Amino acid sequence: MVTDAQTEQKEETRQIKLNILLRDFLEIANCQDLVLKDKIEKVLKLANSFLDTDTAVIGEIIGNTYQISYAVSSENNITAGEVFNIHNTFCLRTCQTEGLFTIPDCTTEEYSAMSCREHFKYKSYAGISINVGGKVYGTLHFATHSKKKHFFESANELIKIIAQWVSHEIYKNQNYLTLKNAEAALRLENKDLTRKCQDIQELASFVSHDMKHPLRAINGFLELLEMNLGEDITESAKELIQEALSASDYMDMLLDDLLSYLETDKSGAKTEKIDTNEVIKRVVKQAELRFSGINIKITHDNLPTIYYGAALFERIIANLVDNAVKYCDEDPIKIHISSGRDDDHWIFSVQDNGIGVPESHKTKIFGMFERLQTKEDAEGTGIGLAICRKVVESYGGRIWVEPVNHVDTDENQGSIFKFSVPINSHGYEIRDVT
Ligand code: ADP
């Protein structure tokens, strides 16, 4: 007959043992030299000895299966990696139970028919569900093979603590793995991108040397042919040679522009402080020289100082001014350059009184080789705006076109090409327009 005093003393001894075990458990949990698997197995072994069980298992629910993740058993009849039909395990019952689900006697009729009981030959069982990141992960359970056993209050407490710790560690590990996978994917992508960049560089050099060389030869032979025919050349032969020469010139221009698209790159440009008023003055001078004889009036507001690749900024403005002249039938051609700003961008605008861009094409024209005119109507390859877009976007801005709305006539005549420049993307001080 067990007296109250004996029970009390037994409970006291169990508490002392539990405290010692928790201290050891903390030591293992905080050990930096152990990997998660070793930590978990050591903790499960400790718990087995405290609970007087011979088997400790952590299993994961994957679909309709219960897959053993970690197992420590003196019976050696259960190992990590084994997979069971979830309905033949105590897992679902465990997950449905708040707190610990215990079976002091697995040999009773209710459980003895289950195939896992047959397989593992458990005599008693105590399990608890494990939640990881707010979702049911699986269960942690302890079992005996040789004797039936009741699990006491202190056992409950311990199993709950271990389940919480395991859940935390698995969560940490999953996040770590996700991060590692993302890092590996990024590294691969980076490698892929570097390879693609190399391909493009190789293509660029191929285009500039190997393709232009035969083109120059074709031009030379055509000119020789024209010379050789001399006075005998017929009008139609002359026309055909001219056609061939102009097609070859167009191809030369295409190759130049394509090369320019491939090579125009923010990475090679130094970001520097630029007074955009100075850039505009240079572009205006060049346009006046290039289009001498055409009546062009270019005006501009007082513009801000920005941080950008100087040559690239000039290239965008020059391209937009060139287009404004090319796609205008008015006399005079009027171009006005201005700027505005929103919270974190300068917005530059180049307005013209030209033919305008139909609503249906206002996005398309920024793509490669997109042209609304034939090469007879206006010289060009359809790459200029694609280059502008590439540069603008590489600096974190965007480029678009709007129609000019004349309030008095209610007619749209001309376009406003706008592009944005992030104000503080480089962390520099911002200087306002004075
Ligand atoms: P390109 O001028 O060599 O054709 P772009 O890429 O500079 O190539 O322009 C693409 C097309 O967008 C042009 O062919 C033209 O149809 C249209 N476009 C560009 N700028 C203007 C403009 N200011 N006004 C009207 N249409 C324009």
414 ligand 1 Cβ < 6 A: no
Q: Supply the pLDDT for residue 143.
A: 93
Helix, strand, coil shares, percent, the chain, to 5: 50, 20, 25
Q: Structure tokens of 272? A: 């520097």
CB neighbours of residue 59 within 10 Å: 28
How many residues appear in the chain?
434
336 ligand 1 Cβ < 6 A: no
Å from CA of 356 to ligand 1 middle: 10
Å from CA of 269 to ligand 1 middle: 25
* Amino acid occupying residue 152: F
Rounded Cα distance, 398 and 133, in Å? 40
Q: Structure tokens of 79? A: 């190992």
Helix (H, G, I), strand (E, B) or coil at 127: strand
44 ligand 1 Cβ < 6 A: no
Q: Supply the pLDDT for residue 428.
A: 45
Q: Supply the pLDDT for residue 430.
A: 42
Per-residue pLDDT of the chain (434 residues; tens, 9 = 90+): 667 788 788 778 878 888 888 899 889 988 888 888 999 999 999 999 989 999 999 999 999 999 999 999 988 778 899 898 888 888 999 999 988 999 998 888 888 767 676 777 889 999 999 999 889 999 999 999 988 888 877 788 889 999 999 999 989 888 888 889 999 999 999 999 989 888 887 887 787 778 888 888 999 999 999 999 888 889 999 999 999 998 888 888 888 888 888 878 777 778 889 999 999 999 999 999 999 989 999 999 999 999 999 999 999 999 999 999 999 999 899 999 999 998 889 999 999 999 999 999 999 999 988 888 776 777 888 999 999 999 999 999 999 999 987 666 655 589 999 999 998 655 444 444 43
Pocket test for ligand 1, best of 253, 375, 385 (most atoms within 8 A of CB): 385
Using the CB atoms, write b or e for 267-299: b if 16+ within 10 Å: eebebeebebeebbeebbeebeeeeeeeebebe
Distance, CA of 120 to chain centre: 48
Å from CA of 314 to ligand 1 middle: 18
Pocket test for ligand 1, best of 290, 320, 327 (most atoms within 8 A of CB): 327
Q: Supply the pLDDT for residue 76.
A: 76
Lookup result for tokens 């004797």: 147
Angle at 253 between CA 248 and CA 254, to 5 degrees: 95
